[in-house]
C-alpha cells in the first residue's frame, strides 16, 4: 500500500486509486472463494457491438499472465477513458483479479466514473469477494460516489450468496456512508431477499423491524405479496394484506399489490375469497378496468368459477 501511495504522489494525481495494493505478490486475495460455484457472466467474445479498443483490452485481461497485466496494458498505447473502463468492466466479471488490475491501471490516468465504481463493486460482490468489495465502497465514500444504486448491488449479491444477515447489516450502516435509509432503500433490500427461494419470512422479519422507523409504501407490500405468491403462502399473504390496509390504506395506485395478493388467493385454491376481495376493491374504488379482465380470466380458468357472478364487476 505504501508503494502505491508513493507512486500516486509522484504522478501528481488528484484521484489516485485507493482500492487495491500494488504489490504483484499479493494476488491471492482477489481470487473468488474456492466454494463459489462457477458462473458464466457475459463475455466480450459474445458481444457483437463491443468497441475494438475494449475488445483488445478484454483479450489482455483473459490471456496475459496475472503478474504482467498492467505492463501489457501499458504497452498497447491505448488511452484509457471513463467510457472505455465502463465497457471493459461489463465484460470482465469472469476474471475479477484481472479486472482489479485493469481498474487500478486505468485509475492512474483519470478519475473513475460513478458507474465504473458501481460496476467494480458489483463485480466483486458477484464473485463473493466481499472484503475487497468493502475496500471499494470505502474508496467510493472518499470520492463522493456512493448512492442507493451501490447499495442495491450489495444487497443483491449478499442475498444471492445466502448471506441475508449481512445484507441487513449493510442496510443498518448505509447512512454512515452518506446514503439515506428511506423507503426506496427498504424496498431494494426487500426485493433482494424475496428474489431468493423461500425467504419471504426473512423479508417480513426485516419489515417488522423497520416499519416504525421508515413508513412503508405500496411497493413495500407488493414485494412481500410477490414473495408469498411465489411460496404459495395464502395465510401469510392475508396477514400482510391486513398490515397493508393499516399502514397505507386503499388506493388505486396500489394495484400491483392487489394483483399479487389476488393471484396468491387464486393459486391457493381460494377463489371465493378472491371474489370477496374484488367486491371490497370495487367499494373502495380500487378496481382499475385495465386489470379487471385479467382478474376475471384468472378466476374462471383454473377455479371453475362461473362467469356470471363476475360480470357484476364489469361497468355498464
pLDDT at 35: 58
pLDDT at 283: 87
pLDDT at 41: 81
- The band of 28, judged by pLDDT with boundaries at 50, 70 and 90, is very low
Mean per-residue pLDDT for 279-298? 74
- The band of 1, judged by pLDDT with boundaries at 50, 70 and 90, is very low
Q: Which of 93, 114, 138 is the last residue of a domain?
A: 138
* pLDDT exceeds cutoff 90 at 306: no
Q: Which of 77, 108, 138 is the last residue of a domain?
A: 138
Degrees to nearest 5, angle at CA 292 with 287 and 294:
140
Structural domains in the chain (count)? 3
pLDDT at 33: 58
53 and 101 housed in the same domain:
yes
162 and 222 housed in the same domain:
no
19 and 123 housed in the same domain:
yes
222 and 296 housed in the same domain:
yes
188 and 233 housed in the same domain:
no
111 and 11 housed in the same domain:
yes
pLDDT at 12: 31
* pLDDT exceeds cutoff 80 at 298: no
- The band of 285, judged by pLDDT with boundaries at 50, 70 and 90, is confident
Is pTM beyond 0.85 here?
Answer: no
What's the domain range around 274? 216-316
Lowest mean pLDDT among 46-55, 143-152, 203-212: 46-55
22 and 80 housed in the same domain:
yes
82 and 116 housed in the same domain:
yes
Mean per-residue pLDDT for 171-194? 97
Q: Which of 100, 118, 138 is the last residue of a domain?
A: 138
Question: What is the 3-class SS of the chain, one letter each residue?
Answer: CHHHHHHHHHHCCCCCCCCCCCCCCCCHHHCCCCCCCCCCCCCHHHCCCCCHHHHHHHHHHHHCCHHHHHHHHHHCCCCCCHHHHHHHHHCCCCCHHHHHHHHHHHHCCCCCCHHHHHHHHHHHHHCCCHHHHHHHHHHHHHHCCCCHHHHHHHHHHHHHCCCHHHHHHHHHHHHHHCCCCCHHHHHHHHHHHHHCCCCHHHHHHHHHHHCCCCCCCHHHHHHHHHHHHHHCCHHHHHHHHHHHHHHHCCCHHHHHHHHHHHHHHHHCCCHHHHHHHHHHHHHCCCCCHHHHHHHHHHHHHHHCCCCHHHHHHCCC
> What is the distance between the alpha carbons of residues 109 and 1, in angstroms, rounded to a whole number?
19
101 and 163 housed in the same domain:
no
* pLDDT exceeds cutoff 50 at 3: no
Mean per-residue pLDDT for 139-159? 96
**Grid cell for residue 78:** 491505448
12 and 59 housed in the same domain:
yes
Mean per-residue pLDDT for 118-144? 96
13 and 103 housed in the same domain:
yes
263 and 279 housed in the same domain:
yes
Amino acid at each position: 500500500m505504501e508503494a502505491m501511495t508513493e507512486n500516486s504522489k509522484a504522478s501528481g494525481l488528484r484521484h489516485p486509486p485507493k482500492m487495491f495494493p500494488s504489490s504483484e505478490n499479493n494476488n491471492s486475495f482477489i481470487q473468488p472463494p474456492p466454494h463459489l460455484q462457477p458462473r458464466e457472466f457475459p463475455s466480450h467474445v459474445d458481444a457483437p457491438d463491443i468497441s475494438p479498443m475494449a475488445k483488445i483490452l478484454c483479450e489482455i485481461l483473459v490471456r496475459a499472465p496475472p503478474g504482467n497485466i498492467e505492463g501489457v496494458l501499458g504497452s498497447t498505447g491505448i488511452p484509457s477513458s471513463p467510457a472505455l473502463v465502463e465497457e471493459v468492466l461489463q465484460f470482465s466479471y469472469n476474471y475479477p483479479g484481472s479486472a482489479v488490475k485493469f481498474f487500478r491501471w486505468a485509475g492512474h490516468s483519470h478519475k473513475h466514473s460513478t458507474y465504473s465504481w458501481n460496476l467494480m463493486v458489483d463485480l466483486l460482490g458477484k464473485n463473493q469477494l466481499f472484503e475487497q468489495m468493502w475496500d471499494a465502497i470505502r474508496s467510493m465514500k472518499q470520492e463522493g460516489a456512493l448512492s442507493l444504486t451501490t447499495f442495491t448491488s450489495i444487497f443483491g449479491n449478499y442475498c444471492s450468496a445466502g448471506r441475508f444477515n449481512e445484507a441487513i447489516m449493510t442496510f443498518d450502516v448505509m447512512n454512515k456512508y452518506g446514503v439515506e435509509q428511506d423507503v426506496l432503500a427498504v424496498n431494494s433490500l426487500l426485493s433482494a431477499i424475496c428474489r431468493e427461494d423461500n425467504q419471504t419470512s426473512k423479508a417480513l422479519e426485516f419489515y417488522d423491524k423497520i416499519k416504525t422507523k421508515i413508513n412503508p409504501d405500496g411497493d413495500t407490500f407488493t414485494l412481500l405479496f410477490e414473495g408469498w405468491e411465489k411460496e404459495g403462502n395464502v395465510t401469510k399473504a392475508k396477514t400482510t394484506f391486513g398490515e397493508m390496509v393499516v399502514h397505507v390504506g386503499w388506493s388505486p395506485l396500489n394495484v400491483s399489490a392487489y394483483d399479487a395478493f389476488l393471484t396468491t388467493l387464486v393459486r391457493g385454491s381460494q377463489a371465493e375469497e378472491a371474489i370477496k376481495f374484488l367486491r371490497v376493491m370495487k367499494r373502495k374504488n380500487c378496481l382499475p378496468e385495465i386489470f379487471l379482465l385479467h382478474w376475471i380470466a384468472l378466476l374462471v380458468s383454473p377455479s371453475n368459477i362461473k362467469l356470471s357472478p363476475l360480470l357484476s364487476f364489469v361497468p355498464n
